[in-house]
Amino acid sequence: MEPVKVGLLGLGTVGGGTVNVLQRNAEEISRRAGRGIIVSHASARDINKPRICKTDDIQLTETPIDVVSDPEVSIVVELIGGDTLARELVLKAIANGKHVVTANKALIAKHGNEIFSAAQKQGVMVAFEAAVAGGIPIIKAIREGLAGNQIEWLAGIINGTGNFILTEMRDKQRDFDSVLAEAQRLGYAEADPTFDVEGIDAAHKLTILASIAFGIPLQFEKVYTEGISKITGEDVDYASELGYTIKHLGLSRITDAGVELRVHPTLIPKRRLIANVDGVMNAVLVKGDAVGPTLYYGAGAGAEPTASAVVGDIVDVVRVLTSDPENRVPHLAFQPESLSDLSILPIDEVETAYYLRIAASDKAGVMANITTILADNGISIDSMLQKEHKSDEKAAIIIITHTTIEKNMNEAIAKINALEAVNGDVVRIRLEHLDAD
């Protein structure tokens, strides 16, 4: 049987890694897929640039539409990133009756509904395992391995750059700016790190995870997103003293009122396995009603970890090339006509616990005023620290609360900020216990 020919759009780090994995493991992949798989075509901005892979047997072009339109190519692998040209090329590939594999989380999060609809009409597959958490097969785990469960919630460390920064701040008592500069030197962070440190990259990935977990349309624009650039060494140290680690978490939970969809810095108890995922590694914790909590851990980026997911998708596509489109695993886990219209909860309606840090004058009655405000807004205190600053007669008051509604906390914080004895704004970081209950 003739090998299946694959066309790559993009021959950078992940593209080169994909070629290497397909070539190095060709025999094993053929045994799994039932047919040989070769990269026959590839596009790159500069075809003369040195590559991390062999390209002798690949037809190279600087015009990606040539790959999408070539009749020999059965599967188009989109690795160029962005959501403008990539969207155009993917839709063109689908229109040409080609299956698509992509590692592009922004493309799926923002345009996936349109792309999957077009693919369904054409009877082709769009596979996107590599779009979330690099080499961790989290899409397949939720969509297929946990298909017998009602997913209750999921939480993920799904951006390696942010996790590296917070790990270094905790372990080496460094400030955010110096660690960010190092992350840029090491190649973990881009020159413009906004997507990573402000949570946009994680929001793209969370959008996809929540959709396949809860059977809802992709709704990136409704994700509440908060970055880590305001996290200080003080907060990292105080959290640790109280038994918590700060992680930049993507979290989605189904409730009676709707679906929570949020990315923000989060205190997690140190005893949780996910709290001990450090450096550039990724992890996703998924709670199903039958299986309980399950943790998926691994490299979230890199040439071959991401290529592992890309090649896995290619193998899946090859396995079903001749199958009836109606009998394939749905793109978003649920049959398209069965997607739910559950609403996405606004952040004001979310229930969670909180870490508060309040800078206040070290005077009698200040603590009583603060606790009264919290009580008046229905907020109870779980634990508390008070750290005195001998030099300026001020104190840092650190409070861990029990679960409450965000809008109640907003009202309480506004009132605390207005107290004459309080200096500066209250620092608020959300807290999740992530237990099995």
Write the secondary structure of 139-157 as one string of H (helix), E (strand) and C (coil).
Answer: HHHHHHHCCCCCEEEEEEE
Taking the C-alpha atoms of residue 100 and residue 116, their distance in angstroms, rounded to an integer, is: 10
Q: How high is the pLDDT of residue 146?
A: 96
CATH hierarchy code of domain 350-431:
3.30.70.260
User: Given pLDDT bands bounded at 50, 70 and 90, which one contains residue 393?
Assistant: low
CA–CA gap between residue 244 and residue 248 (Å, rounded): 13
Is the pLDDT score of 358 beyond 70? yes
Contact assessment for residue 78 and residue 14, using Cβ atoms and an 8 Å cutoff: no
Q: In the predicted model, is pLDDT for residue 84 greater than 60?
A: yes
- Helix, strand, coil shares, percent, the chain, to 5: 40, 25, 35
- Portions of the chain given CATH number 3.30.360.10: 140-298
Residue type, 241: E
pLDDT of residue 388: 76
**What are 185-216's pLDDT values in tens digits?**
988 888 899 999 999 999 999 999 999 999 99
Interval 162-170 mean pLDDT: 96
DSSP secondary structure code for residue 422 in this structure: B
Alpha helix positions (H), 130-280? 138-140, 160-172, 176-186, 194-197, 200-214, 233-241
Stretch 322-345: mean pLDDT, rounded?
A: 79
Rounded CA gap, 60 and 47, in Å?
6
By C-alpha distance, which of 33, 403, 341, 382 is closest to 217?
A: 341
The pLDDT of residue 327 is above 70? no
Helix (H, G, I), strand (E, B) or coil at 239: helix
What is the mean predicted confidence (pLDDT) over 163-188? 94
Q: Would you say 122 and 94 are in contact if contact means Cβ atoms under 8 Å apart?
A: yes
Confidence check: pLDDT of 241 > 70:
yes
Q: What are phi and psi of 74, to 5 degrees?
A: -95, -30
Q: What is the mean pLDDT of residues 15-28?
A: 96
DSSP three-state, residue 78: strand
In the chain, CATH 3.30.70.260 sits at: 350-431
Catalytic choice (5, 140, 205, 247): 205
Contact assessment for residue 252 and residue 214, using Cβ atoms and an 8 Å cutoff = yes
Q: For residues 391 and 379, what is the distance between their CA atoms, to the nearest angstrom? A: 32
279, pLDDT greater than 70: yes
pLDDT beyond 80 at 329: no
Contact 361, 393 (CB under 8 A): yes
How far is it, in rounded angstroms, from Cα 207 to Cα 117?
17
Give bridge partners of residue 156 from the DSSP assignment: 250, 284
Q: At what angle do helices 176-186 and 160-172 cross, to 10 degrees?
A: 130
State the pLDDT confidence band at 365, using cuts at 50, 70 and 90: confident
Q: Is the pLDDT of residue 338 over 70?
A: yes
* pLDDT above 70 for 306: yes
**What pLDDT, on a 0 to 100 scale, did the predictor assign at position 363?**
81
CATH 3.40.50.720: which residues of the chain? Answer: 4-135+303-338
How far apart are alpha carbons 118 and 279 in whole angstroms? 39
| Mean of the per-residue pLDDT values of the chain | 94
Q: What is the pTM of this model?
A: 0.94
Taking only the tens place, the pLDDT of each residue in 103-153 is 999 999 999 999 999 999 999 999 999 999 989 999 999 999 999 999 999
Percent of the chain exceeding pLDDT 90 equals 86
Q: Is it true that domain 140-298 has CATH number 3.40.640.10?
A: no
Six-digit token pair at 11?
């021959």
Backbone φ and ψ for 385, nearest 5 degrees, come out as -125, 150
CA distance 226 to 263: 6
Inter-CA distances, 208 with 109, 144, 189, 250, 327, Å = 6, 15, 22, 11, 22
**Stated length of the chain:** 437
Banded model confidence at residue 1, pLDDT cuts 50, 70, 90? confident
- Looking at the domain that runs over 4-135+303-338, which CATH code has it been given? 3.40.50.720
To 5 degrees, how large is the angle CA 155–CA 160–CA 164?
Answer: 110
Q: Which residues contact 305 (CB under 8 A, 6 or more apart)?
A: 134, 135, 298, 299
Could you count the other beta carbons within 10 Å of the beta carbon of residue 62?
11
Quick one: tokens of 12? Answer: 């950078």
Mean pLDDT over 208-231 rounds to 97
Which DSSP category does 424 fall into?
Answer: S
Known catalytic residue at 54: no
Residue 281 above 60 pLDDT? Answer: yes
pLDDT greater than 70 at residue 322: no
Amino acid 119: pLDDT: 95
pLDDT at residue 328, rounded to an integer = 76
- Strand 224-225, strand 258-269: pairing: parallel
Amino acid occupying residue 138? I
Instruction: Give 29-46 pLDDT, tens digit per residue.
Output: 999 999 999 999 999 999
